[in-house]
Chains A and B, each alone.
Chain A
Amino acid sequence: MLRLWALKSKAPLFSKCLHNSPIIEAAASSPSSAASLVKWTPDSIRTGLIARKRGMTALWNDQGVRIPVTVLQLENCQVTANIVTVRQDKSEYHAVQVAASDKPLKRTTRQMQGHFRKANVQPKRIVKEFPITPDAHVPVGTTFSAMHFVPGQYVDVIAKSIGKGFQGGMKRWNFKGLRASHGVSISHRSAGATGAHQDPGRIWPGKKMAARMGGQRITTQNLAVVRVDTSLNLIYLRGAVPGVDDAQVMIRDAKKLTAVGRHNQAKGLYEKVLPKGVDDLPFPAGTLEWAKSLPSIIEAPAYRRSPFMPQE
């Protein structure tokens, strides 16, 4: 698939890349108290987290409505670097590098051992980067907490989907197959014809065919955060999340809905910037220290009329 965003803003050959520069450290170092002085603005983009998908269950909210939830657990998710890259056209790319799930030292390569030693964290299994705005840098070594997400907000989840193996056209591309009877011989699930005639006399590149299915990076957008439990570092999301149980997933604030919030802020609709019931977001990030001063288990109530009340 052609990815236009990759062609558009390619990092040029000679760009200045600053990992953990002193300027970033000085700016991003939060004060000694747990709460942050820097406030979230609708134009800021916060960092995301890496968690493990633990499974699915169901919760019943205050109105008695059943909500199927996916349970995600943070496994020592820490910041390993703050990245600032200056492109040739002087624009800046800011990102926070996040790592999760401790790994034994002997199974980590020398190169990665050095990288983690510089960040002063345990070696980790997964290291990913989240693009942010310059005000959302988090000090290196900060441990994240589940309170980074507020019940009632929406998130995007990115994970590798379940592998389905080599699959035919019917499963992979929703082909209709052929008839079950009326003379069809042993090709009931086959794809049928693959092209035209002598003109063009070949198969177009990109023809949908049977091949390996699944095991790809998938983003599920706009999942609501139902409950947050900081004692066990759990985030409960409404709906399903790609991947198998115990898989690593990336969670970040929903891009499309925060963009809508940004536009509402510009239009002056200040009530519609954040979702209903959400007043503020932890900024630049929800840390373990901050979570100690907040309640452990927080749940979002239903913000709509009860479906069990009969309508007039």
Chain B
Amino acid sequence: MPMLGTGILSNFFRWTTRCSTRAMATTSQTATKPYPFSKTAIIHPEPYVPPPASLVQGKGLMPHLQKTLATPEKLDMLRAYFGRHSYRRILPGSIVSVTLEHAPFNFTGVVLAIRRRGIDTSMVLRNVIQRTGVEMQVFVNSPHVKTIKVVQKPPKGRMKRAKLYYLRHSPEKMSALAGSKKGTIA
């Protein structure tokens, strides 16, 4: 007796569910297939096309995940501000202002370091607020990061270091970086 649940019938179910969930980014279980092992699990929308065989074997898997695990808006942000050849890229020594969805809601500071790891890219911003040095590591792909704005580019176009940790011990160099911009750095 031919076995049901395999072959044509299961493919039919996959095709219909793909059509029904095409336009929705849903977390409900009613429109998609039921998941019996966890009632509260988040069900992501099905991929539109099955992945190529090379990805299933592992060839180029991590670069594929770097492109697919982030939203298009975040990928644009990463490419624009952290791409090595972007004309809008953030350089260490520039003054950057970020808008966040949690406290402190907006933070402006000097970029001390940029850590490039694909979607795990982050930068360290330093500012002196009320005579206290404050540093913040901002992960670009975080859903809490709303906007990034370059307030001032580094002096003479670039700094001579990739990591400016020496600024932690020289407030005079920090204020020299702040330069003519009033009110950005205390």
Residues of A within 8 A of B (CB): 32-34, 52, 54-55, 57-60, 62, 64, 66, 68, 71, 73, 75, 150-152, 231-234, 246, 277-282, 289, 292-301, 303, 308, 310
**Contact partner, A57, options B3, B4, B69, Cβ 8 Å:** B69
- With A34-B5, A73-B58, A280-B37 given, is the CB distance from A57 to B65 under 8 Å? yes
Q: Give Cα A32 to B120, complex, Å.
A: 44
Q: Give Cα A299 to B45, complex, Å.
A: 11
* B interface, over-half SS: loop
- Residues of B1-40 contacting chain A, CB below 8 A: 3-6, 10, 13-14, 32-33, 35-40
**In the complex, are the beta carbons of B10 and A292 less than 8 A apart?**
yes
**Contact partner, B143, options A64, A234, A292, A301, Cβ 8 Å:** A64
Closest to B145 in A: A64
Interface size class of B (residues with CB under 8 A): 35 or more
B56 proximity list for chain A (CB < 8 A): 232-233
| Binary per-residue interface labels of chain B (99-123) against chain A in the complex, 1 for a CB within 8 Å, 0 otherwise | 0011100000000000001111000
**In the complex, are the beta carbons of B37 and A150 less than 8 A apart?**
yes
- With A232-B55, A281-B37 given, is the CB distance from A60 to B42 under 8 Å? no
Is B151 among interface residues, defined by CB-CB distance under 8 A?
A: no
**In the complex, are the beta carbons of B119 and A295 less than 8 A apart?**
no
**Contact partner, A32, options B5, B43, B55, Cβ 8 Å:** B5
Closest to A308 in B: B102
Q: Give Cα A303 to B39, complex, Å.
A: 13
**In the complex, are the beta carbons of A66 and B43 less than 8 A apart?**
no
Closest to A310 in B: B103
User: Which of B46-54, B128-136, B173-181 contacts its partner?
Assistant: B46-54
Q: Give Cα A300 to B20, complex, Å.
A: 23
Q: Give Cα A150 to B103, complex, Å.
A: 34
Sample of 19 more A-B contacts, CB < 8 Å, known A58-B139, A58-B141:
A32-B5, A34-B5, A34-B6, A57-B119, A60-B142, A64-B144, A151-B38, A231-B46, A246-B58, A277-B40, A279-B37, A280-B37, A289-B6, A294-B35, A295-B43, A297-B44, A298-B44, A300-B42, A308-B144
Q: Give Cα A48 to B56, complex, Å.
A: 20
A280 proximity list for chain B (CB < 8 A): 36-37
**In the complex, are the beta carbons of A298 and B62 less than 8 A apart?**
no
Q: Give Cα A287 to B101, complex, Å.
A: 42
Closest to B57 in A: A75
